[in-house]
Amino acid sequence: MPRKPVYSSPQEAETAFYEALERCDLDAMMAVWSEDEDIVCIQPGGDRFSGYAPVRDAWRRVFENGARLRVHLLALTTVQGPFTAVHSVIEQISLPGRKQMAAPVAATNVYVRGALGWRMVVHHASPVSPASIGDAPQILH
């Protein structure tokens, strides 16, 4: 089994998360997540999944349809301490060749720092009104 990458910052882990999402790469996606059973993932309009295996299975189902998404992050807000980071972003999601999807998604991503670098422990995403975007700066992943 290949070694998991070491993310030296929560920003590096977040970049890897969104790159894995855009590529529909389950192994890369799960490399970002902590292997702790207390991890939680809530996808837009979906159920709450807790634990490594249920979170992996939820992402597997997302990636099964093969739809390659493009994600632009807006309005990044961070709170960071020595061992925990919380990122709040607006995800502007589109399909290649199409304009943005109907509603932007507000996401909260929580990372913890351990012996193997920074890992995601919570991803909570929910559709929000387009008014949430405003004139926020764009961050590309």
What total of structural domains would you count in the chain?
1
38 in a domain, yes or no? yes
Q: What is the pTM of this model?
A: 0.86
**Strand 48-50 vs strand 70-80: parallel, antiparallel, or unpaired?**
unpaired
Instruction: State yes or no: pLDDT of 135 exceeds 70.
Output: no
3 in a domain, yes or no? no
φ, ψ at 124 (rounded to 5°): -125, 115
Instruction: State yes or no: pLDDT of 116 exceeds 80.
Output: yes
Element (H, E) at 57: helix 52-64
**Radius of gyration of the chain, Cα coordinates, nearest whole angstrom:** 14
Q: Which of 125, 129, 128 is nearest to 47 (CA)?
A: 125
Cα 25 to Cα 22: distance, rounded to the nearest angstrom: 8
CATH code, domain with 54: 3.10.450.50
> Residue 108 is which amino acid?
T
19, 52, 112, 136 alpha-carbon torsion, rounded to 10°: 40
Extract the tokens encoding 66.
């093969």
45 in a domain, yes or no? yes
2 in a domain, yes or no? no
70 in a domain, yes or no? yes
Domain span at residue 96 reads: 10-140
pLDDT band at 28 (very low <50, low <70, confident <90, very high): very high
Instruction: State yes or no: pLDDT of 140 exceeds 50.
Output: no
pLDDT band at 97 (very low <50, low <70, confident <90, very high): low
pLDDT tens-digit profile of 45-94? 889 999 999 999 999 999 997 778 888 888 789 999 999 999 999 998 88
Place of tokens 């290649």: 96
1 in a domain, yes or no? no
- Are 58 and 49 in contact by the 8 Å Cβ rule? The answer is yes
- Are 59 and 83 in contact by the 8 Å Cβ rule? The answer is no
5 in a domain, yes or no? no
Q: What is the mean pLDDT of the chain?
A: 87
